Amino acid sequence: MLAELCHGPAGGPAARLTEVIELTDQVVTGAADTQTAKAPIGASPDETGSEQLLSLITSSLDQDGAEDILEIPLAGKSPMADYMVVASGRSTRHVAALSENLVDRLKHEAGVASRVEGREAADWILIDAGDVIVHIFRPEVREFYQLEKMWLTTPDKAARPA
């Protein structure tokens, strides 16, 4: 299916999707070398697992007014992360603010140094928080790429709204 998506006119949507997939791979492989997640002071390692990180991410996005927040479990589908979160912001400014606030919260509350791609245009921002990958879109861009459909197969609609 991915091969079908990647073939298309040069510079068109398929080329952009290919570029984003390559950036995602770079972020994931680069983050494996540089990222160190630290437990907050007074917390045991068991309290900072991927479920707690997922909870922090979804609550941060919700507090900041993100729309259509969706959690997608990646267990058994991809070794790059345990969860993927997809959310929408109302404008490029809102998408940028959601990502900045989330990265700050991850750093200060969970000790996670996140890698971020797409800040410049703020149409689609990817945040690699280690066990959780976050995609924040403008609604039109999210509708166009339909990233959720790539990860949700028909027999296994395991995603849940946050």
Residue that is written with structure tokens 């395991």 in the block: 158
CATH dotted code for 2-161: 3.30.460.10
52/68 Cα distance (integer angstroms)? 20
The tokens describing 114, both together, are: 């996140």
What pLDDT score was predicted for residue 137?
Answer: 97
Question: For the residues 142-151, what does the mean pLDDT come to?
Answer: 90
What pLDDT score was predicted for residue 40?
Answer: 42
Whether 159 shows a pLDDT value over 70: the answer reads no
Residue extents of the structural domains in the chain = 2-161
The two beta strands, 67-73 and 83-88, are: antiparallel
